[in-house]
Chains A and B, each alone.
Chain A
Amino acid sequence: MNIFRLAGDMTHMFSVLVLLLKIHTIKSCAGVSVKTQELYAIVFATRYLDIFTSFVSIYNTFMKLVFLGSSFSIVWYMRYHKAVHRTYDREQDTFRHWFLVLSCLLLALLIHEKFTFLEVLWTFSLYLEAVAILPQLVLLQRTRNIDNLTGQYIFLLGGYRGLYILNWIYRYFTEPHFVHWITWITGLVQTLLYADFFYYYFLSWKNNKKLN
């Protein structure tokens, strides 16, 4: 494991912890899209099915359990915790995320490395993760109110994706035969979505500064 991968995983974990902290302590999920959170829960549930079939390391198994547990907890809080649910922007969070699920499933059935149950679901999870942030970005554009914690959550997620790309570049040059087109292309698409968002976030922040 290289430093980029470790830093990426830690950034990813912090992003989820920031979100859980916000929801658990402030009892508010204002500005958070439950659709994006449901997509992440599906991503982890389908990608980590191999938790039962292949063991990599205690670190990997532990992190998989962290991501599964945290994503399902966040969905549970937003859907079923009364105080938290009251703060949910239901009218604004209208992205049809099941359309994304269906499209990614079809794509995984068409484009994969091996046509096996676990492999197709693993590929599906990569496609879905690439676009899972879309409902969250749409919600932010609609409400136009981004609090510090939600901003930090998205910023940390973007950082995690950027670090994973550095990790792949590092592995490509240090490990023979490390070539993973599907992982790389979906990872790149996902990172570009964040970069696009940050670009416009930065522009509006700069304009606000000017107004002041």
Chain B
Amino acid sequence: SSQSDSKDEL
């Protein structure tokens, strides 16, 4: 889960 929610950024 750690990396996935930073992928909602551009």
- Chain A residues within CB distance 8 Å of chain B: 5, 9, 12, 50, 54, 56-57, 60, 63-64, 67, 113-114, 119, 122, 164, 167, 175, 177-180, 183
Contacts and interface: CB of A to CB of B under 8 A. Distances in A.
A60 B1 CA distance: 19
Interface of B: 1-3, 5-10
A199 to B, nearest CB: 27
A178 B7 contact: no
Contacts of B9: 5, 164, 167, 183
A63 B10 contact: yes
Contact of B6 (A9, A63, A180): A180
A22 to B, nearest CB: 23
Nearest to B8: A56
Contacts of B1: 177
Contacts of B6: 178, 180, 183
B4 to A, nearest CB: 9
Contact of B2 (A9, A57, A67, A180): A180
Nearest to A67: B10
A63 to B, nearest CB: 5
B10 A64 contact: yes
The interface centre, meaning the residue of B1, B7, B10 with most chain A CB atoms within 10 A of its CB, is B10
Contacts of B2: 113, 177, 179-180
Contacts of A113: 2-3
Contacts of A183: 6, 9
Nearest to B9: A5
Contacts of A12: 10
Nearest to A178: B5
A63 B10 CA distance: 8
A50 B7 contact: yes
